[in-house]
Structure 1
Amino acid sequence: MKIKVLPALCAAAALCGCQTSNQADYVQIGYGPSFDVAHAQCELQKRSVDQGYIAIGSPGFVAGAGIGNAIGNAIAEDDFMRNCLIISGWKRAPHGQAAAASVATGASATPYGIARAPGSWINTALLDWKDANNKCVAGDKAACATRAKLGAKLKSAGINPSPV
């Protein structure tokens, strides 16, 4: 009986060692909320992918079915979190490369000015478009190009920015 417990403990330890979900493992790939906001939103929804199970039989079979269901649910939750964070503008980077890249370049973890307008890339894009528009009106050619690029992104989202 004790011999059967050892492989199960080794398997559980190996599976537990694979879990990582640290902000340092994510890089921002587009406009969107801060990592904390995006992670919290996804965390609230991830339990919706869990599947229940029914097992009838010996205690060993029922326990095995429960463990298999728990592993399947953990995999489904991880897939959901990955996809949800991608939709929110964050992508999982190879372990350790995200933090190393930001330190090497001196870039912040939020390159799109999310601190100015948390919660929506549209808010930030509109603020950036307004700043670029003001500079373009003053004669800055580079700001005119930025305004055009941001205007195109906003128009593709159904928003037509116009100076007021």
Structure 2
Amino acid sequence: MPPPPPPPVLTSPAAATTLSVSLSVLALKVSGASRSVSVVNTGAHPATLVEVDPAVVFPAGTTYLNHCTTLAPGATCTITITPGAVASALPGALAPVPVSMAVRGSNTNTPTVQVHVLDYGSVYQGGHVFALDDATPPARASAARWPLPATAPRSTTGASTTSRPARCLKSPA
């Protein structure tokens, strides 16, 4: 008679833990420089299978590189996003919807980063983008400048009739 099979190995699910991301909003220039988002395990247990949710759909040509897998408590990893040649919303769209990049682990919460891939004429933070400064160091988001609220009348000569101070979206220093 053969020996009895060994008892099954029971594994318990990993203890829940918490992730946080370094940015809540990331603005990128079409075909511009890659930018990174830091993911931190702020919980007391290892975070496993950390990834960008595979259901996230970026604009055509925009890619990401996930440098995360398992994160020990207090550990940090990065996700690098490289913008493609297509904006996340049509230029002039008055209610642009950013890509909601969800980051998850098998035992974690799911923080999100709102990713805007911008081009000239895109509407961002209530105004039309007329200049994009992609020379900002990679640890920071691109700077976007705009002169007019999206609903303001436009001059037929292309000159602005009102102005607004330039603003810059930056990651925490």
Q: Which TM-score applies when normalising by structure 1?
A: 0.26
Question: Rg: which structure is higher?
Answer: 1
Q: Whose helix proportion is higher, 1 or 2?
A: 1
Q: Which has the higher contact order (CA 8 A, sep 6+)?
A: 1
